[in-house]
Structure 1
Amino acid sequence: MTKPEAKNQPTAPALEKGLDLLEALATESRGLTQRQLAERVGRSVGEIFRMLVALERRGYVARDPSTGEYALTLKLFRIASQHPPTERLLKSALPVMEQLAAKVQLSCHITVLHGEQFMVIARIEPEWLMGWSVKAGTVFPLSQQYPSAKVLAAFQHPGRRDELAQVIADNDHVSLRKALAALDRISAEGGNFSNDDGYTRILAYCCPIIDSTGRAVAALTVPLVRQDRIPKAEAAAIAAELRAAAATLSERIGGGGGA
């Protein structure tokens, strides 16, 4: 996990150690014991002990007393949410999401890229929840099985788009050509509105939220049950409401009006 150091650049070994621990825990849905963590980052238990104590004291990790496993708390997510661009996006998004959820009677959520993964930063549920929803703060890998991942990758500038397509190809064990073809379909449709890729069992309609440069800064998603259980007219109405909501959010952040 430790990256090679560039020559003549100052180093901060303690900080690197702490970041290694946080990155290792970020990939685990359950948690890791102190010994497992040490093995994961290529260090001894003694080397990471003090850093774990500090991270726990500051609230970045929590230890389960029954198993001894350490897991990330939501503190990093809360810090990221307070970052001005994210805060501005959420301030604009939440009222629009509430209206969307009320109109379609389904949950909706917003995701953003998080390195080579993506994260749910907000969700809204209607008073009567039909279908399923995901928790804010959840991180997922970039994969064709997630409509949000495809939309976030498809609506990037060419160089970044190719990088993310390669990540998807590696994660899904498919060719780069196939991954790019999937992103091309998403771009052409203005979002994810079909379930013909062979991956997604639970369909989710998804649209990009576009900034002034034409790049997707986030994706607005409505998870549904299987598409074949939704009347076509109802599915079309949901898609139309989602497109309108994404366009509104794109306009509010100074973008090009969405999909």
Structure 2
Amino acid sequence: MTNPEKLQPGAPALEKGLDLLEALAGASRGLSQKQLAERVGRSVGEIFRMLVALERRGYVARDPATGEYTLTLQLFRIASQFPPTERLLKAALPVMEQLASRVQLSCHLTVLHGEQFMVIARIEPEWLMGWSVKVGAVFPLTQQYASAKVLAAFRARGPAPGACACHRCARSHQCQEGTGGARPHFLGRGNFSNDDGYTRILAYSCPIVEASGRAVAALTVPLVRQDQIPANEAGIIAAELRSAAKIVSEKIGG
């Protein structure tokens, strides 16, 4: 039987360029031509012209001292210019700035990225210490993360009426909102620790909901806690987050 994949038309140059971009995206530091060639399974000669083209177009930058290549922000700029994303960021960023100022904690905006979720915006408060995530960071869509709970629960058109949208994991707290349908003020909570158990992260997350009831993003406030957060403080953070998510949802027509 003929393999269907062999019937598909190929684009070797495009494949080569995408391989290089993905290799650089997955590297924690710059890579030399030799290192890149090894990662993509090609010779240095095969990737040389492609790297020159990518550098000329502004997708990669070469360190003149070390000869190592790194990604530029060109791909991020392109993604940010995609109309739905641009519209979402314009609506969310001013509200996120107000939220961070009010709760004195960082906040970030995430969107679905296949079976993962990606951070597309982050706002830091005027505070000397805190915990935040990097823009462009990608995480698995697991119940360990508050953002993942919210995005998974609202990835279609919101949870079924009467069903808890939280999908509680073993180490998360009970959803404070209880049951109900898709609502802009839904609150998801995530609670996880590192391997040694010393650092515990608590995160609150709410969906940014469009007119159909589908969540296009999740607005999340994370914090490091070393002891129990007072109930009144947690309540204030949750209320401010719900209000911010509701405002952003309304601004995009939700």
Scaled by the length of structure 2, the TM-score of the pair is 0.77
Task: Provide the identity percentage.
Answer: 75
Match of residue 193 from structure 1: 189
State the one-letter code of the partner of 2:35.
Answer: Q
Match of residue 207 from structure 1: 206
State the one-letter code of the partner of 2:127.
Answer: W
For each residue in 1:173-227, what CA deviation from the matched residue of structure 2 results, as whole angstroms up to 9, or x when unmatched?
Answer: xxxxxxx7639977967343252x5668222211121223332211111121217
- In 1: Cα distance, 2:16 partner to 2:222 partner: 38
1:117 offset after TM fit, Å?
A: 3.5
Superposition pairs of residues 157-236 of structure 1, within 5 angstroms: 157=156, 182=169, 190-195=186-191, 201-226=200-225, 228-236=227-235
Q: Does residue 156 in structure 1 map to residue 149 in structure 2?
A: no
Match of residue 107 from structure 1: 106
Alignment check: 8 A CA contact 2:24 2:70 kept: yes
> Residues 150 and 90 (structure 1 numbering): CA distance in 2 closer, same or farther, change over 3 Å?
same
1:33 offset after TM fit, Å?
A: 2.5
Which segment drifts farther, 207-216 or 52-61?
A: 207-216
Superposition pairs of residues 64-79 of structure 1, within 5 angstroms: 64-79=63-78
1:71 offset after TM fit, Å?
A: 2.0
Where is the strand percentage greater, Structure 1 or Structure 2? 2
Alignment check: 8 A CA contact 2:144 2:190 kept: no
State the one-letter code of the partner of 1:182.
Answer: C
For each residue in 1:48-70, what CA deviation from the matched residue of structure 2 results, as whole angstroms up to 9, or x when unmatched?
Answer: 11111111221111223444332
- In 2: Cα distance, 1:78 partner to 1:188 partner: 39
Match of residue 89 from structure 2: 90
Alignment check: 8 A CA contact 2:144 2:169 kept: no
Aligned residues: 231
Gaps of 5+ in 2: 160-166, 180-185
RMSD: 3.1
- In 1: Cα distance, 2:126 partner to 2:51 partner: 41
For each residue in 1:118-156, what CA deviation from the matched residue of structure 2 results, as whole angstroms up to 9, or x when unmatched?
Answer: 322222223335522233333444455543234323321
Alignment check: 8 A CA contact 1:106 1:129 kept: no
> Residues 41 and 23 (structure 1 numbering): CA distance in 2 closer, same or farther, change over 3 Å?
same
Name the SS of the counterpart of 2:208 in structure 1: strand
Scaled by the length of structure 1, the TM-score of the pair is 0.76
> Residues 60 and 247 (structure 1 numbering): CA distance in 2 closer, same or farther, change over 3 Å?
same
> Residues 5 and 60 (structure 1 numbering): CA distance in 2 closer, same or farther, change over 3 Å?
farther
Q: Does residue 48 in structure 1 map to residue 35 in structure 2?
A: no
Alignment check: 8 A CA contact 1:105 1:130 kept: no
> Residues 60 and 123 (structure 1 numbering): CA distance in 2 closer, same or farther, change over 3 Å?
same
- In 2: Cα distance, 1:242 partner to 1:207 partner: 7
Alignment check: 8 A CA contact 2:143 2:190 kept: no
For each residue in 1:53-99, what CA deviation from the matched residue of structure 2 results, as whole angstroms up to 9, or x when unmatched?
Answer: 11122111122344433221111011110111011101111121122
Q: Does residue 81 in structure 1 map to residue 77 in structure 2?
A: no
- In 2: Cα distance, 1:109 partner to 1:231 partner: 23
